[in-house]
Structure 1
Amino acid sequence: MKCIIVDDEPIARKGMKNLVDQIPELELLDSFNSAEAASMYMLNHPVELIFLDIQMPGITGIEFAKNISKDTLVIFTTAYSEYALDSYEVEAIDYLVKPIEADRFRKAVDKAIAYHSLLLSEEKKSVENVEDDYIFVKSDRKYFKVNLKDILFIEGLKDYVIIQLDGQRIITKLNLKTIHDMLPKSAFLRVNRSYIVNKNQIESFDNNDIFIKNFEIAIGNMYRDSFFEDFMSKKS
């Protein structure tokens, strides 16, 4: 599993890295001293598991966890056991109190790996195949062949996505981040928390909105810089 560490204390990050390095199933992508830094990284890098401190300056771990994808699993790490109840409210996989023992850490990771496998199994039932120019999507007990070039945009709605074609919508049980990871980044770009757009279908845009046929899609503040950098680089 691809994971990151978020903790404002350098010693805590080093200790957590030592624990992660002992488990071959984990791939440590990076470590961050704040939720803000981790959030920016996650805009362009898929992360499956976060080891997340709770009490940090700025955005707390609890606040950060409330705003990330359900596909990204969270194991809280903290020196304060009184935060355990808050961790359940954001559906954390586990709650580890520092100093963290290796055996206890392994049990938490095993829970994350097992749950991640269940998520992958469910996703494979929704998207049967991804080829260079099409996908098969399960909807209403049937599989529909969807040509990627025909997708205008994809909208996330809780545990479902709506694939918008010209004159047709296909709804399937899938997470927005998951389908984004499956699609070619050369053509599809996430522009806010709820929308992925086909860059080839964009007819016009301004500083705040993208226009595709008769649809108007807002550019999220956290995605604005990456949108202009990515999209405009294609036009230069």
Structure 2
Amino acid sequence: MKLKCVAVDDEPLALELVAKFIKQTAFLELSASFENAIEALSYLNQEVIHLVFLDIQMPDLSGMELARIIDGKPGKSKPRIIFTTAYNQFAIEGYKVEALDYLLKPFSYEDFFKSASKAYQYFEDKEKSLLSNSTQNASEYIFLKVEYQLIKILLKDIQVVEAYKDYVKVHLQGKTNPILSLTSLKSMEEMLPNDRFMRIHRSFIIGLDHIDAVVRNTVHIGDSVITVSENFKDSFMEFLNKWIA
């Protein structure tokens, strides 16, 4: 498997270095490079890309703003991001958009390769998970890593999936305490069938069959009351119109 990559940096020398590193890494493929985040966004809206090496401080549209746009888009085939920047104060914001890694300039090829390998492992695990679930009746259950074991989770029992630091909390019907799994909400979104689950907030995925009520812009599931955020309102309203009908 090769990861299709895009490099974005307004500094030509920095962009050239990242492009060079991508080209000399066997499991990466450079699809395009841009000195402007707006041009990069236009390209990303048209092409399927695995990985974006993204500078943060850029004019017109910053790397962080581009990352928020990418992260806010509905769907399961969004690219993942590795930030490349000379500033370390953006680490928390990078976490909020679920960046895979954060390369602090100037970085060596060794640093770059470690980040790229982390991305490759992410996509390899994702592919294995999809294959495993498709061959083991994914319409009924998934497996999640909980501490040092894989736990079988019935999809019909999943009420809410909640982002929690580097983990997710999976709230199950009939269980008082949620299951804590070391994965990201984005990975869960990609794993769960979109005809039964929907992301309605940066921090929440809901089981559509478990909705008890919708009150204005909030969804009620058991004891949970979750706000539908602006980025996900259109897709939720589309579902709701079909649900009411």
- Return the TM-score normalized by structure 1: 0.65
Spell out the pairing of 1:4-23 with structure 2 (5 A cutoff).
Answer: 4=6
Spell out the pairing of 1:157-236 with structure 2 (5 A cutoff).
Answer: 157-168=164-175, 169-233=178-242, 236=245
User: How many residues are treated as equivalent by the alignment?
Assistant: 216
Deviation of the 1:183 alpha carbon: 1.0
What's the secondary structure of 2:117's corresponding residue? helix
1:92 aligns with 2:99: no
Spell out the pairing of 1:54-133 with structure 2 (5 A cutoff).
Answer: 54-57=56-59, 60-62=62-64, 72-76=80-84, 84-86=86-88, 89=91, 90=94, 91-93=101-103, 95=105, 110-119=113-122, 129-130=132-133, 131-133=138-140
| 2:145–2:181 Cα contact (<8 Å) kept | yes
**Structure 1 runs (4+) greater than 6 angstroms displaced:** 18-24, 29-32, 106-109, 121-128
**CA distance in structure 1 between the partners assigned to 2:48 and 2:174 by the alignment:** 31
What's the secondary structure of 1:132's corresponding residue? coil
| 1:161–1:173 Cα contact (<8 Å) kept | yes
1:79 is aligned to: none
Deviation of the 1:53 alpha carbon: 4.1
**CA RMSD for the aligned pairs?**
4.8
| 2:37–2:61 Cα contact (<8 Å) kept | no
- Return the TM-score normalized by structure 2: 0.63
Structure 2 unaligned blocks of 5 or more: 73-78, 95-100
Change (3 A) 1:116 1:53: closer
Identity %: 26
Spell out the pairing of 1:133-148 with structure 2 (5 A cutoff).
Answer: 133-148=140-155
**Letter of the structure 1 residue corresponding to residue 236 of structure 2:** F
2:98 is aligned to: none
1:26 aligns with 2:23: no
**Letter of the structure 2 residue corresponding to residue 187 of structure 1:** R
